[in-house]
Amino acid sequence: MSENKRFAILVYGSGEGVAQLPEAERQAHMQQWDNWVSKLQADHIFAGGSPLLPVARTIKGQEAKVSDGFFVPQNEYVIGGYILIKAASLDEAVEIAKGCPAFELDGTVEIREEMPM
């Protein structure tokens, strides 16, 4: 595997899924996240990542107007976190992302290649 490309796995969800689970199920789900990230680390393809707090500020337009909150249409998902991985191709990154625990709570992931600068 060539390790010269990095991909971001953007994890989208409603933000309510994990919070509404009973404590034992929430802990089990979080353990699946720990297991998945540990496997990525053991495979030497984990390059970083973190969950994101549900607090945001948006800066928009030429006047750089700052607003509190993130704004998405009703019934849309928001980015809840990201994982950075190393993979040889977008197809390989997609296969890796299929192991993401977000799918168990009807989450969505977007996989994007990092642009070399």
All structural domains of the chain with their residue ranges: 6-113
pLDDT band at residue 109 under the 50/70/90 scheme: very high
25 vs 34: CA distance, rounded Å? 14
pLDDT band at residue 106 under the 50/70/90 scheme: confident
Phi-psi region of 74 (alpha: psi -120 to 50; beta: other; left: phi over 0): beta
Domain 6-113 has CATH 3.30.70.1060: yes
pLDDT band at residue 15 under the 50/70/90 scheme: low
Q: With beta carbons less than 8 A apart as the criterion, state whether 73 and 12 touch.
A: no
pLDDT 10s digits, 19-64? 788 999 999 999 999 999 999 999 999 999 998 887 888 898 999 9
33 vs 29: CA distance, rounded Å? 7
CA 93, 97, 102 angle in degrees (round to 5)? 160
The per-residue pLDDT for 75 is 58
